[in-house]
Homo-oligomer: A and B are copies of this chain.
Amino acid sequence: MKALIFDLDGTLIDTVYAHVFAWQQALAEAGLPIEGWRIHRRIGMSGGLFTRAVAREAGRPLTDDEAEGIQRRHGALFRELLPERRPLPGAVELLGWLRENGVPHGIATSGRRPEIDASLEALGVPPEMVVVDRGDVLRAKPEPDLFLACQQRMGVGVADCYVVGDAVWDLLAARRASMLSVGLQSGGYGEDELLAAGAYRVYRDAGELHRSIDELGI
């Protein structure tokens, strides 16, 4: 039995551009201005990894307190910018179909609770669904920990899991976890970038994945 492990932001929920903008503002306020496209290309990493990478590039190392402060500010700005979460096309229907057909599936996200709760609510997933977040593992994407933790909690084999994500980090982490992956363009990466990072298949969004699910042997 094949199983699906979903990323959340940009894969199931349309949050990437609000995240980019909130990070850009939080970092600029902390004296670390950085271009939007460089942030976009790092969405999907953990906030901690991301903040440290930016600081390193700016040549100004941050204390742990500073890095945490920037992350908190990002969270506040994000909730302010995007009080309502909108599922990406086909996401709610695909998750419902997987439930009805008994296909094991879960979510593995670099986000944390309570930040991700509004997204889970908008998707209408039941409380028993396997959701692994940044707080559950030691290391975030592109480390494989989130996907491996999700796979273990679903009780399926590594070889049976497909990772579904919109970011290069999802696809790289999937390869580290020895899992095949599906790239979705709904986070703003182009098809070629997703294929170059190792995607087994690329679709526009969750809706197209749903219509093409046979291609994965599901």
Contacts and interface: CB of A to CB of B under 8 A. Distances in A.
A192 interface: yes
Count this chain's copies in the assembly.
2
A168 to B, nearest CB: 10
Interface in A34-79: 35-37, 39-41
B190 A189 contact: yes
Nearest to A192: B192
Majority secondary structure, A binding face? helix
Interface range for A: 20 to 34
B33 A17 contact: no
B193 A35 contact: no
A25 B71 CA distance: 24
B81 A21 contact: yes
A110 interface: no
A145 interface: no
Contact of A37 (B16, B24, B196): B16
Contacts of A185: 37
A188 B33 contact: no
Contacts of A16: 36-37
A17 B189 CA distance: 14
A24 to B, nearest CB: 7
